[in-house]
């Protein structure tokens, strides 16, 4: 009996997170297959329901059926519920129900929550969870209220539902829209290219959702005293600002020449914000130059910040890689930010994540290009959108075969749960080998 107890294996936090996401994806797919989920009352094929559910839970936005014209109000309700669960995280939602029921939060649950939101310590995790839930509710409500007049003017009372749907979708960096109708499928927000309220509300929701919960806490606690912020929050805010401003300037001076100045400014900033990692668009992406599409691919791969509703390799990974490169150029031993040294293990993790995303993004595009007979550049855009959980598309996703759709499903799932989470879940072991092999020399560069 003792031997059986000794062999008993417990799931790690990483494995629980992955299984939780997978379970929600499967449940969502089964619900979306029901005839009540579609406007025509038909049963949706499993592969299409699975793709849509994965895209919603992984807050991506890639779709094989137009969300506004294909799915019923019930189906759209399922999708927005999946987006909310995926954006906040399965663990956060489960912990919220535990808190509401008045039950005591165990140490295991606290540790799980710490891993889910990338918190530095277990202490104060329950208070932080409550803060996240309250802030999410307030931000999504404000976003809906700002957009409601524009949507109600165009759609009547249905505009209330549309305002809430798009507010949640934007805050969770999902990119799903329900504006498509027969004759104008997959329009995203192209009809609102000149609407300041819609553009500004969506952009703010995307940015706030992608900053990360710990950065929220820093801002809420320390207000304008930036010197008191965590180093990570400073890195996230600076990197986010640069990744919005620099591409926006490029887009303004090289794209959208035919638009009036106001719409050109809004379009430039919107297309700079949305690739990280929301998936809305206010212009025809296929009409943009290849240089602009290349910039958007980079932005999609970088994504948002740790512990946020966004995906991608994360702003901190990108920043650490840059800081390490600058340190090597200056012949410094360690990378650093704001007078603080970066531990070597963090640099290794960043390099691993970077290589994983680049490899999966390229191999996935290569396979799709060969199977579907499509240009590699177009396929790279779709796979970057999938693994970055963005949802932007050049229009090929609905036409892809089952194999190509399966590749995008896998990339979306990996992009949402995180590469390192998958590695730790698959290779978790308590056996640690402290011995080292003899050192060898190798020249790089």
pLDDT in tens, 210-261: 898 888 888 888 888 888 888 989 999 999 999 999 999 999 999 999 999 9
Residue, of 178 and 309, whose pLDDT is higher:
178
Q: Are 369 and 375 in contact (CB under 8 A)?
A: yes
pLDDT value of position 150: 94
Domain count, the chain: 1
Least confident of 82-91, 289-298, 349-358: 82-91
pLDDT value of position 339: 82
In this structure, is residue 440 part of a structural domain? Answer: no
Name the token pair of 423.
């590695």
- pLDDT of 8 higher than 60: no
- pLDDT of 2 higher than 50: no
In this structure, is residue 271 part of a structural domain? Answer: yes
In degrees and rounded to multiples of 5, residue 71 shows phi and psi of: -90, 145
- pLDDT of 3 higher than 50: no
In degrees and rounded to multiples of 5, residue 365 shows phi and psi of: -65, -40
pLDDT value of position 123: 65
Q: Residue 121, by phi and psi: left (phi above 0), alpha (psi -120 to 50) or beta? A: beta
Reported as a pLDDT band with limits 50, 70 and 90, residue 438 is: confident
One-character DSSP codes across 228-282: GS-HHHHHHHHHHHHHHHHHHHHHHHHS-TTS-HHHHHHHHHHHHHTTTTT---S
- pLDDT of 424 higher than 80: no
In degrees and rounded to multiples of 5, residue 341 shows phi and psi of: -80, 145
CA-to-CA separations, 103 to 55, 98, 125, 128, in angstroms, rounded: 32, 6, 15, 17
- pLDDT of 270 higher than 50: yes
Centroid of chain to Cα 191: 24
pLDDT in tens, 75-118: 999 999 999 998 887 667 766 766 666 667 666 667 766 666 66
Reported as a pLDDT band with limits 50, 70 and 90, residue 50 is: very high
In this structure, is residue 342 part of a structural domain? Answer: yes
Looking at the chain, the number of H-run helices and the number of E-run strands are 19, 2
- Identify the domain containing residue 87 by its residue range: 9-425
CB atoms within 10 A of CB 42: 11
In this structure, is residue 404 part of a structural domain? Answer: yes
In this structure, is residue 257 part of a structural domain? Answer: yes
pLDDT in tens, 384-402: 999 998 988 888 888 899 9
Q: What is the mean pLDDT of residues 143-172?
A: 94
One-character DSSP codes across 320-349: HHHHHHHHHHTT-SS-EETTEEPPHHHHHH
| Dihedral sign computed on CA atoms, order 414, 416, 420, 422 | negative
CB atoms within 10 A of CB 185: 16
pLDDT value of position 9: 54
- pLDDT of 6 higher than 70: no
Centroid of chain to Cα 165: 17
Q: What is the overall mean pLDDT for the chain? A: 85
pLDDT value of position 420: 60
CB atoms within 10 A of CB 396: 17
Residue, of 328 and 443, whose pLDDT is higher:
328
In this structure, is residue 435 part of a structural domain? Answer: no
Residue, of 104 and 208, whose pLDDT is higher:
208
For tokens 């070597």, name the residue: 344
Reported as a pLDDT band with limits 50, 70 and 90, residue 382 is: very high
Name the token pair of 329.
């150029």
Reported as a pLDDT band with limits 50, 70 and 90, residue 17 is: confident
pLDDT value of position 271: 94
Residue, of 25 and 445, whose pLDDT is higher:
25
Burial tier of 327 (Cβ tally within 10 Å: 0-12, 13-18, 19+): middle
- pLDDT of 290 higher than 70: yes
Q: What is the CA radius of gyration of the chain?
A: 22
**Which of 297, 275, 300 lies closest to 188, judged by CA?**
275
pLDDT value of position 333: 83
In this structure, is residue 430 part of a structural domain? Answer: no
- pLDDT of 138 higher than 60: yes
Q: Is the pTM of this model over 0.75?
A: yes
pLDDT value of position 46: 94
pLDDT value of position 391: 85
Give the integer Cα–Cα distance in Å for 72 and 138. 27
Give the residues across from 337 on adjacent strands. Answer: 340
pLDDT value of position 298: 94
In this structure, is residue 436 part of a structural domain? Answer: no
């Amino acid at each position: 009996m003792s031997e059986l107890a000794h062999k008993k294996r417990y799931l790690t936090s990483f494995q629980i997170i992955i299984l939780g996401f997978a379970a929600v994806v499967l449940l969502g797919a089964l619900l979306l297959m029901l005839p009540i989920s579609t406007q025509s009352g038909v049963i949706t094929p499993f592969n299409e329901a699975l793709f849509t559910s994965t895209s919603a839970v992984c807050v991506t936005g890639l779709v094989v059926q137009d969300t506004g014209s294909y799915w019923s109000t019930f189906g759209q309700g399922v999708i927005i519920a999946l987006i909310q669960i995926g954006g906040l995280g399965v663990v956060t939602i489960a912990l919220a129900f535990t808190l509401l029921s008045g039950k005591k939060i165990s140490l295991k649950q606290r540790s799980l929550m710490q891993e889910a939101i990338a918190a530095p310590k277990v202490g104060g995790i329950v208070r932080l969870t409550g803060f996240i839930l309250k802030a999410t509710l307030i931000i999504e409500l404000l976003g809906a209220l700002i957009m409601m007049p524009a949507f109600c003017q165009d759609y009547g009372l249905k505009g209330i539902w549309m305002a809430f749907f798009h507010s949640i979708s934007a805050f969770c960096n999902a990119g799903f829209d329900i504006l498509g109708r027969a004759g104008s499928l997959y329009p995203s927000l192209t009809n609102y290219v000149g609407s300041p309220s819609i553009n500004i509300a969506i952009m703010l929701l995307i940015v706030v959702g992608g900053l990360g919960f710990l950065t929220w806490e820093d801002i809420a606690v320390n207000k304008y005293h930036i010197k008191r912020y965590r180093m990570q929050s400073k890195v996230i805010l600076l990197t986010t600002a640069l990744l919005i401003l620099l591409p926006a300037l490029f887009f303004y001076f090289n794209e959208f020449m035919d638009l009036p100045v106001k719409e050109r400014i809004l379009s430039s900033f919107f297309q700079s914000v949305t690739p990280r990692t929301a998936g809305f668009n206010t212009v025809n992406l296929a009409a943009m130059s290849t240089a602009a599409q290349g910039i958007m691919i980079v932005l999609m791969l970088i994504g948002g910040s740790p512990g946020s509703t966004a995906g991608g390799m994360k702003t901190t990974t990108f920043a650490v890689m840059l800081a390490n490169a600058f340190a090597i150029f200056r012949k410094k031993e360690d990378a650093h930010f704001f007078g603080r040294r970066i531990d070597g293990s963090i640099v290794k993790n960043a390099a691993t994540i970077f290589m994983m995303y680049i490899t999966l993004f390229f191999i996935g595009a290569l396979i799709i290009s060969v199977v579907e007979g499509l240009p590699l550049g177009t396929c790279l855009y779709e796979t970057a959108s999938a693994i970055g959980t963005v949802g932007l598309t050049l229009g090929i996703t609905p036409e892809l075969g089952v194999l190509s759709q399966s590749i995008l499903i896998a990339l979306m799932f990996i992009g949402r749960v995180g590469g390192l989470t998958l590695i730790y879940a698959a290779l978790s072991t308590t056996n640690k080998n402290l011995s080292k092999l003899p050192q060898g020399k190798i020249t790089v560069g």
